[in-house]
Amino acid sequence: MVSYFKEVLVGFASLIGGMAVTIRYFFKPIVTVQYPREKITMTPRYRGHTQLVLDPETATHKCIACELCARTCPSQLITVKGVKVDAKKKVPWQYLIEYQYCSLCGLCLEVCPTSALEWSNEYRLANFSRQDNVIDLLVRLQKQQRLAGVAVTPIPEPPAETEAEASSSGEVKE
């Protein structure tokens, strides 16, 4: 009989402890974010996808199409194709990254001699098809410039021998 009352007392104490936790959190502010309608601000050190950096002096990207990022990438998912505009200067006309395979290791950011790449604050990474994960960073940069109201950096024309190759590679997401 004593063990029965002891079990009832322990159960009642457990119930009171649980209710105390519930009441305590009932009066605290809600931290849940209603995701599609509300968006959270990411921390400054968040590592999303990589993106091209705009040079504040020239209002263009800093990439010189040296392809060091493509050679350093352990997953081999970066494709940089450049064209010479001057005798010494080379600029990219295509900068593709296949994000579905990216491990976000950051080697491409570390090896870049001009610091042309940085982490973005983009956290919505889900897509419905694989083709949506192949992103041209130059097109994406132009879109960001249009949204910011900045002068848009023109993408140079590809060399004549690679135009047919570029058009047959499929669609690229902005």
pLDDT of 61-101, one tens digit each?
899 999 999 999 999 999 999 998 887 888 899 999 998 88
Which residues pair with residue 134 across a beta bridge? 98
Q: Would the annotation count 22 as a binding residue?
A: no
Per-domain residue ranges for the chain? 1-31, 50-167
Contact 135, 125 (CB under 8 A): no
108 is in an annotated binding site: yes
The model's pTM is: 0.70
C-beta atoms surrounding 104 within 10 Å: 10
The annotation status of 166 as a binding-site residue, yes or no, is no
112 labeled part of a ligand binding site: yes
Give residue 162's pLDDT band: very low, low, confident or very high (50, 70, 90).
low
Q: Is position 9 annotated in a ligand binding site?
A: no
| CATH class of this structure's domain 50-167 | alpha beta
